[in-house]
Structure 1
């Protein structure tokens, strides 16, 4: 049996992320993996301000402990496109969830995954940072301006 296509590696990875199982999540990343997001994004600010996660253990902590502390309920990720070229996969997605303050979150993302030997070596995450921040400020019953 041949290697799993890179697009399938990433689709399977998202299902594993949802388990919040540190062992399973960690098995997806190289030891020196990096996850880069825009500086000052709302999720990073809600946590420790870090937008550049370095190392498998740090990424696992984010995905299994910190992410669920911010996005506390009704988390859904809907993929609108997944494109692969060799060991690079681009995934377009919409994240919806209930935030820790009880408000709603709804934002679109683009992730660029770089694989190495079937493992995630680097993730570059892009989103509308202003829209994301507005959801973190919005009361539970309101949609942010422009949303």
Structure 2
């Protein structure tokens, strides 16, 4: 796929995540053999990486209850595209399920194949994540 199509795919992915685009299901973005790697300092994501469509969808859906519904916004920086890779830097703002505010900066490196995401490497400040209570929400 062209870099412009790869950029558009990831832009649409974020629009679907935020509920701004309902024309496509989240599951449709991923290949059957997709992998998702998070920082090893997050003890709640096991196994890490997640491998396979079902495992990645489980990972994505497991975080839904951490945040108050409808509270998530992203300050997405311009996407960086190189061949079949797209880098997305963003700041996530949300309220946790208990009402406390949450803000963290993320960087996702997406690998694409045939118009779908085949791998994601996620970077974030896991200390800030833990200090703001997201890990508490995962254990309750």
TM-score by length of 2: 0.81
Distance between the aligned counterparts of 2:14 and 2:31, measured in 1? 16
1:5 aligns with 2:9: no
1:33–1:120 contact (8 Å) kept in structure 2:
yes
Return 5+ residue gaps in structure 2 as ranges: 135-140
1:100 aligns with 2:101: no
Greater strand share, structure number: 1
Q: Secondary structure of the residue that 1:133 maps to in structure 2?
A: helix
Partner of 2:34: 33
Partner of 1:119: 116
Q: Secondary structure of the residue that 1:59 maps to in structure 2?
A: helix
Partner of 2:125: 128
| Alpha-carbon shift at residue 136 of structure 1 (Å) | 1.0
| Alpha-carbon shift at residue 80 of structure 1 (Å) | 1.8
Deviating more after overlay: 96-105 vs 119-128: 96-105
Count of residue pairs the alignment pairs up: 129
| Alpha-carbon shift at residue 12 of structure 1 (Å) | 0.5
Deviations 1:102-137 (A, max 9, x none): 211100001000000110000000011111111117
Return 5+ residue gaps in structure 1 as ranges: 138-147
1:53 aligns with 2:54: no
